[in-house]
Chains A and B, each alone.
Chain A
């Protein structure tokens, strides 16, 4: 008997949080841009407290993203922030940097630790290493394939979280690359207009149909995938393997879209949990998502069925 997997979505505002809980999310990821990374919106501690109240009120959880690449100047701010999160009662934080791990263990030991190193969380041994340091969950790299994920699961001594839907980050630089480019063109922009809301994207000469979103924020430049992962059709494989948490990435998507996606995955998870043997994927689930999918972004299996070489 496996435990019913969790459905997790990132929320960029208190209103997002309410909507995604309503749509069926079991857990929300929120945070502030200084400490977190690539969040759909930056929340203050007050707002995080509101989200916690909302979520806990209906038995859902709240995780806070602290998985930025930390620099010295952030370290003095970390203890107060971590203590505040502990007081607010958040359930877990996502970390990558060891400084966050040690600060949580020292100052808010009741808060669980989820190890999220994005593209570099690629094997069970390293996940278990962070488990031995106190992590209770690993967020697996989106570049792993289905076999790697399902084979890994029995060897993991901590929970596994897998992204099932949405875009992924494919490049992160501390440089302000769009800003630099515009300076180079002689048309500098310094009005903060190169962020998520601008709808900027890159096209590479030989891949005219692929649009790679790009934006800048206080953490540098982020380039995102041209396709959206959607593993709904094979979600049962991940459920059968016992993956503990499924993440819907809500970044750069309208709220309505995310609500539909969350509802759809909610339905699939509930059906599987009710009777795994009777479970079958239904094509019309996809129709609902396809109807609101950006026609210029393909829904794909991501790397789930790809062979990568090196």
Chain B
């Protein structure tokens, strides 16, 4: 396989020996899981200026708590301030950025110079990372932003490995790239479908994912009725106008058969797990996972797998092997089919989702390990979804903790036997076949 071949491109990381694993955190709890499961940095959204206006975004207090928590692990917290601002947004930028600086945030991710310039002036301790929303795809543009004082650029998702290699070759700067998760199929920032369909401003966080809706594709069957006719065509038609190939009265010709799937712009999700050596060797400084709206189970699973893969490669590049269980793990969190985006070539029909989407993840996050008593082999588990004796479950945790077992008898806190764990967040006592630790998770196959 491609991934096992010698990486083709060699590039240097700018400040870090090892690439940073950067994870999304939609709220404080997700932040803690992301960090505990091995993220070197997390990015979050605050109350303003982010692109997920529907997410349950952080208050400054929560940010401080998140920063404190992350610090214990040596991890950093970034805040996405990646909207394209309108006039009315300008006034509050300065005080907002000062508050981020005060909360101990390490960097903002910004696209709009209206925000970047204020950060440089008013909150100099905040690093500014150029957002993917700028769709930066060439080394001169990257150099421009470096000269503007930015230590890091998040490239557009259209950048290939080859293009990243050339950028790395020309400019000494941190390059961050999305390696996993959902993708805009448009150039980032270059889509206002939501604005047109629902009056929601996509570039200020109102995106309603119209790219994933289904459309019918037609061709205009009218003769020269308003549509564009090339000069060549006009010339050709002048001497002896060709008879119209379209039936009179038919104005739109469907370009699909009844049995066809509908047209869509919706893309499969990105997954570069099988290509970790390429990503590391090309010199990408930060590996970014998408998904501030995703669940704890998703964040923990995905971070856990990439952490192991990166560490394994860095420890011994020559003998690195892609473990099949990593791929199995990733698939347990995937809610769409996966592909490699633009890293190797331009996506084609195999990279889009024409069939009706099965949104459901095959696994539920069923419980969180709170405590474990080694002598008795018993754990206290906080219920996160329904489970009952006889269910097949899996435990997983950082550093490769993983085992399957069947749920035996379960008790509540007072020791009363339960026929099922039904109550959200209820503490459940159960015997486990292998040791676990606080923050390990229990998942259950759905259905």
> Residues on A close to B: CB < 8 A?
13, 15, 40, 69-72, 74-75, 97-99, 101-103, 118-120, 122-126, 129-130, 143-144, 148, 151-152, 155, 169-185, 196-205, 207, 211-212, 214, 220-221, 223, 225-226, 251-254, 257, 293-297, 303, 306-310
A253 touches B138 (CB 8 A): no
Given contacts A181-B217, A185-B257, A185-B260, contact A172 B190 (CB under 8 A): yes
For the complex, give the distance between the alpha carbons of A118 and B140 in Å: 21
- How many A-B contacts if CB must be within 8 Å? 244
B167 within 8 A of A: yes
B140 touches A180 (CB 8 A): no
Closest A residue, CB atoms, query B170: A72
Closest A residue, CB atoms, query B111: A120
Shortest CB-to-CB span from B264 to chain A, Å, is 8
Most chain A CB atoms below 10 A, which of B163, B227, B257: B227
B80-101 interface with A by 8 A CB criterion: 84-87, 89-90
A253 touches B226 (CB 8 A): yes
Interface segment out of the listed B20-28, B203-211, B299-307, B322-330: B203-211
Closest A residue, CB atoms, query B190: A172
B201 touches A99 (CB 8 A): no
| Set of chain B residues within 8 Å of A151, measured between Cβ atoms | 87
How many of B's residues come within 8 Å of A, CB to CB?
Answer: 83
B349 touches A98 (CB 8 A): no
A204 touches B112 (CB 8 A): no
Contact with A along B123-146 (1 / 0, CB 8 A): 000000000010101111100110
Given contacts A180-B352, A309-B200, contact A98 B227 (CB under 8 A): no
B89 touches A123 (CB 8 A): yes
Q: List 12 A-B contacts (CB under 8 A).
A: A69-B156, A119-B203, A155-B87, A184-B352, A200-B255, A202-B216, A252-B227, A294-B226, A295-B226, A303-B195, A308-B201, A309-B200
Shortest CB-to-CB span from A233 to chain B, Å, is 21
Sample of 6 more A-B contacts, CB < 8 Å, known A181-B352, A183-B348: A72-B163, A102-B144, A120-B133, A143-B201, A171-B193, A306-B199
A175 touches B347 (CB 8 A): yes
Shortest CB-to-CB span from A150 to chain B, Å, is 11
| Set of chain A residues within 8 Å of B433, measured between Cβ atoms | none
| Set of chain A residues within 8 Å of B158, measured between Cβ atoms | 69, 174
9 closest A-B pairs by beta carbon, nearest first, are A294-B226, A199-B220, A310-B206, A98-B144, A99-B140, A125-B114, A129-B113, A183-B349, A184-B349
For the complex, give the distance between the alpha carbons of A124 and B233 in Å: 43
Closest B residue, CB atoms, query A189: B255
Closest B residue, CB atoms, query A207: B197
B414 within 8 A of A: no
Closest B residue, CB atoms, query A78: B140
Given contacts A124-B87, A152-B87, A181-B263, contact A75 B138 (CB under 8 A): yes
B373 within 8 A of A: no
B1 within 8 A of A: no
For the complex, give the distance between the alpha carbons of A143 and B189 in Å: 13
Contact with A along B252-292 (1 / 0, CB 8 A): 10011100110111010000000000000000000000000
B220 touches A201 (CB 8 A): yes
B214 within 8 A of A: yes
Given contacts A170-B193, A173-B187, A207-B197, contact A126 B226 (CB under 8 A): no
Closest A residue, CB atoms, query B93: A125
| Set of chain A residues within 8 Å of B218, measured between Cβ atoms | 200-203, 211
B195 touches A129 (CB 8 A): no
Given contacts A13-B231, A174-B158, contact A125 B265 (CB under 8 A): no
A197 touches B193 (CB 8 A): no
A170 touches B192 (CB 8 A): yes
Given contacts A126-B85, A175-B346, contact A202 B211 (CB under 8 A): no
A171 touches B145 (CB 8 A): no
A119 touches B189 (CB 8 A): yes
- The 8 Å CB contact of A75, one of B139, B192, B229, B348, is B139
Most chain B CB atoms below 10 A, which of A98, A102, A212: A98
B166 within 8 A of A: yes
For the complex, give the distance between the alpha carbons of A171 and B191 in Å: 4
| Set of chain A residues within 8 Å of B215, measured between Cβ atoms | 202-205, 212
| Set of chain B residues within 8 Å of A101, measured between Cβ atoms | 144
| Set of chain A residues within 8 Å of B217, measured between Cβ atoms | 178, 181, 200-202, 214
Closest B residue, CB atoms, query A125: B114
For the complex, give the distance between the alpha carbons of A205 and B203 in Å: 24
Most chain A CB atoms below 10 A, which of B186, B192, B230: B192
- The 8 Å CB contact of A129, one of B114, B228, B233, is B114
B73 within 8 A of A: no
Shortest CB-to-CB span from B127 to chain A, Å, is 19
For the complex, give the distance between the alpha carbons of A123 and B93 in Å: 13
Shortest CB-to-CB span from B45 to chain A, Å, is 13
For the complex, give the distance between the alpha carbons of A197 and B236 in Å: 14
Given contacts A99-B144, A199-B220, contact A69 B349 (CB under 8 A): no
A72 touches B138 (CB 8 A): yes
| Set of chain A residues within 8 Å of B138, measured between Cβ atoms | 70-72, 74-75, 97, 99
B117 within 8 A of A: yes
B348 touches A309 (CB 8 A): no
Contact with A along B110-121 (1 / 0, CB 8 A): 011110010000
B261 touches A184 (CB 8 A): yes
B218-262 interface with A by 8 A CB criterion: 218-220, 224-231, 233, 251-252, 255-257, 260-261
B386 within 8 A of A: no
For the complex, give the distance between the alpha carbons of A180 and B261 in Å: 12
For the complex, give the distance between the alpha carbons of A199 and B86 in Å: 34
For the complex, give the distance between the alpha carbons of A201 and B200 in Å: 22
A309 touches B206 (CB 8 A): yes
| Set of chain B residues within 8 Å of A308, measured between Cβ atoms | 195, 199-201, 206
A177 touches B192 (CB 8 A): no
Shortest CB-to-CB span from B444 to chain A, Å, is 35
Most chain A CB atoms below 10 A, which of B139, B186, B189, B348: B186
B8-56 interface with A by 8 A CB criterion: 53
- The 8 Å CB contact of A171, one of B192, B220, B342, is B192
Most chain A CB atoms below 10 A, which of B137, B263, B346: B263
Given contacts A118-B190, A129-B113, A181-B217, contact A15 B231 (CB under 8 A): yes
For the complex, give the distance between the alpha carbons of A211 and B265 in Å: 16
| Set of chain B residues within 8 Å of A72, measured between Cβ atoms | 137-139, 163, 166-167
- The 8 Å CB contact of B145, one of A98, A212, A252, A296, is A98
A294 touches B192 (CB 8 A): no
- The 8 Å CB contact of A309, one of B166, B201, B252, is B201
